[in-house]
Amino acid sequence: MPELPNIPWSKEIETILRNLQVTRDQGLSRAQAKKRCRQHGSNRIRQKKQKSVWSILVNQFKSVIVVLLAAAALVTFSIGRWIEGIAISVVVVFNALIGFITELRAIRSMEALEKLSQSMTKVRRKGRIEKIPSRQLVPGDIVVFEAGDTVSADMRLIEAARLEADESTLTGESLPVAKNTSPVGKESPLAERHCMLFSGTAVTRGSGEAVITATGTATELGKISREIQEAEDERTPLEDRLDQLGRAFIRLTVILSVIVVVTGWMMNKNLLLVVETGIALAVAAIPEGMPIVATIALARGMRRMARRNALVNRLSSVETLGGATVIATDKTGTLTENQMTLNRLILPGMEVSVSGEGLKTEGQFTVHGETIEPGDHEEMQLILRAGALCGNADLQQDDGDNPRGVGDPMEVAFLVTLAKAGLRKESLLEELPEEYEVAFDPEKKMMATVHGKDESHFFAVKGAPEKVLEVCQKYIGNNGTEKINSRIRKKWLEHSERLASEGLRILALAMKEESQRDVEPYKNLILLGLACFLDPPREEVKEAIAAAHTAGIRTIMITGDQLATARSIAEHLNMVDNTLEAIEGSELKKIDSLSNKEKKRILDCSVFARVSPKQKLDLVSLYQQEGNIVAMTGDGVNDAPALEKADIGVAMGLRGTQVAREAADMILKDDSFSTIVAAIGEGRNIFGNIRRFILFLLTISLSMILTVFFGSVLNMPMPILPLQVLYLNAVTHVFPALALGMGQGYENIMSQPPRNPKLPILERSHWLHIIFYSCVISAAALGGLIFCLKSTGMDAMQAQTISFLVITFGQLLHVFNVRSKDSGIFFNEVTRNTYVWIAIALSILLTLVILYVQPLADVMKLQPPDIRGWVVALCFSFIPLLFGQIFLSIRKGNGKDSQDEL
């Protein structure tokens, strides 16, 4: 039985081949491959059970308020009230339909991971090279690959020729990683296992052979898939808060219904009348419009965010984003441009700064702030020539303004710099055609190309500064070519290390001219200087981070890149200062084993480098445990578990992998950090709007509860009937509430701290607001009913109609009480909202329709009033508005207005 190698990166290849019972020359036989496939399974990522359409639909009925509505419908049907029962059922179905259509999510993370394995791979089977579907790969297969191939299993290298792989989606490393066959230490992190190729990555350069050590879910990619499944799909704060409100109203309904039934029984009232009153109370207690309005308001918020390049695929995530207290962001492409730029050339005689970022071929060369022409300096021409010739990259001009780079990012950056100097690689090659290339040697950490015509041969060399300096005998000094001594070599090395500590990538360049083309390339070289590369920060990010800081939101960087690079970018963006440390992944322990001091150290840190996917997941969990709402950004396969776990997963739309995009709650169409901050502001305003219309809806619901309750307790005719209550809750109240949900919100929303995620959606002051206005509206309705019965001689049905109109218009006018206390009476955020006026007009029109269309009036048990009745109804209807404006005027100036107050 072949033994699967444990930690294969730390063992010699001969040991691994022996344990897997395979030879390099022959590979596996078909019989061996079939047996191992049965033993280890096919090379597939285990799929998470998908949500069916049916399960998504069922989820729409899990809200406490919807369940309470459904229960009310069943009770109504059971006593033969078919019209009321059907009306309640329509509300339930309509709400579920809106939520179902909008929330049909596209999160298919396992499908995306599976697609990474649907490719063909060249293997050696029984001594012959065959191309087989990647899902048929098994441990022990000998794989043959070259540049451009996708890696479909984890494998240990047997042979590597100039081999480089793009592992950015797995490790976060922004540059291709050089590979070799030498084993590394057992504890080496994923990004430093240079003798391994991993599933889901791609070969960008060179060729080689390897033996497969893990397939399917045993690969590093497969482990991530398991982490995605284990990462809980967190309920959003809004869902929890709405359910809390629903439970509060259930308790209120049960208590008041019991009081009504007991009171009715003690007064020897008709049992059917008592039951009808209980139903009316239950219907009044349930804000039927709240789920509908919340769903529509959130859906509109999704559209508004989409116009700002933020695509949200889950309704409640819109509001959750507004409550974010921590943004955990990747570095490459989110905070930076994701394009290497050569920004400095260190020559023996001078230091040259190069302007222009990315692929922009326009820029200037300056020394101490003064512009220079590269053509006027021989040493500049030599280093540009050597850097451009020593590589395989190319610049291809597309239809746009800037060219497209093909090849190694740093080689592309050198070609862009050459273009800034007015030169082209093609012209250099015409002058000095390439004769041959000495491939990059991982041990020597150098590469060379040889160019020339006739008897002259130009050797261009680049590599790690410490290695290039070892083989340089001379440099170009103030007096021409001079010898390098140990003191000068040490000075160059110190300069290189200082630049690297600033987060720059450093290459040393050298040259020589020989009469023979086949001499040793790395001998008797002349040092030309150092080239410094940087993936520059995005221009708008510093301002966005400052805006987030003003809004009380912490920004932390979690990257797989090097510590010095991460720290340099963070300092440039003012994320950290010299007093704060950056933490490397190797220092992070499991959350359960952290002491309080260690937790504090992590929570105070703003930069994490060389972090593994599991560590990203742990960091998100740690911040959540401390009560934070975490928005996590990512683009790679390695980010998917953390995106799934975060309160808001934010994926990159331009460069993000399909796995990351489908694990996220929000996708950025422009990959810009500033879009996240703008979306948070939008989310805060949406929450403010939701709170505003919930206050409105609960006020009018409670006002009807009090009206029905006191009408029953005082042995009065029913002030408002169950079907009338349902009509008001589901129709005329929905439109004003929806209009409030479409308001523009506060202009200074991002100058205020985030709300406390532990607080409920309505605080004590909001409940006092609800109780006060509910009592005023209820008193107006009961006062109108009593006045009609005692002073006008109206019968019960006529008086009941007036009571219905007082509640209807009093509640509609109450919308003007839901404004900030510091705003003006006539000019404020409510009166400026066009949707509010449309909603009021529509609600009045619908009320007149059911009042004056006789069949509808008969169903609703209404009788059109005369002039006297209308005067009474309107007079009592304006009482809540009058009391509300007086109350707001008294409160004006008492304390600072904020998003948490009205």
Q: Which helix (H) or strand (E) holds 427?
A: helix 425-431
Q: How far apart are CA 541 and CA 563, in angstroms?
A: 20
Beta strands in 397-471 (DSSP E): 404-406, 434-441, 446-453, 456-463
Nearest CA among 242, 114, 391 for reference residue 691? 242
Measured in Å, how far apart are the chain's first and last C-alpha atoms?
73
CA distances from 42 to 23, 145, 217, 341 (A): 22, 21, 10, 43
Nearest CA among 762, 57, 761, 648 for reference residue 316? 648
Where does residue 437 fall: left (phi above 0), alpha (psi -120 to 50 degrees), or beta otherwise?
A: beta
User: Exposed, middle or buried, 371 (CB in 10 Å: 0-12/13-18/19+)?
Assistant: exposed
The SS3 assignment for 176 reads coil
Q: How far apart are CA 263 and CA 267, in angstroms?
A: 6
Q: How far apart are CA 704 and CA 277, in angstroms?
A: 12
CA angle 868, 774, 710 (to 5 degrees): 75
Query: Residues 173, 560: contact at Cβ < 8 Å?
Result: yes
Mark 247-268 as b/e (b = at least 16 C-beta within 10 Å).
eebbeebeebbeebbebbeeee
Query: Residues 722, 276: contact at Cβ < 8 Å?
Result: yes
**How far from chain centre, in Å, is Cα 597?**
30
Any catalytic annotation for residue 618? no
CA angle 684, 99, 90 (to 5 degrees): 125
Query: Residues 562, 691: contact at Cβ < 8 Å?
Result: no
Return the structure tokens found at 529. 């200087």
CB atoms within 10 A of CB 93: 12
CA distances from 341 to 309, 387, 414, 415, 423 (A): 26, 14, 8, 10, 17
CB atoms within 10 A of CB 29: 13
Return the structure tokens found at 208. 């080689």
What angle, rounded to 10 degrees, do the helices at 64-78 and 271-285 form?
160
Q: How far apart are CA 493 and CA 487, in angstroms?
A: 10
Among 330, 408, 635, 639, which one carries the catalytic annotation?
330
Return the structure tokens found at 280. 């009316």
Torsion of CA 100, 102, 104, 110, to 10 degrees: -150
Q: How far apart are CA 47 and CA 594, in angstroms?
A: 33
The SS3 assignment for 183 reads coil
Query: Residues 519, 450: contact at Cβ < 8 Å?
Result: no
Query: Residues 651, 640: contact at Cβ < 8 Å?
Result: no
User: Exposed, middle or buried, 373 (CB in 10 Å: 0-12/13-18/19+)?
Assistant: exposed
Query: Residues 825, 706: contact at Cβ < 8 Å?
Result: no
Q: How far apart are CA 317 and CA 687, in angstroms?
A: 11
Residues β-bridged to residue 474: 483, 526
Catalytic residues: 330
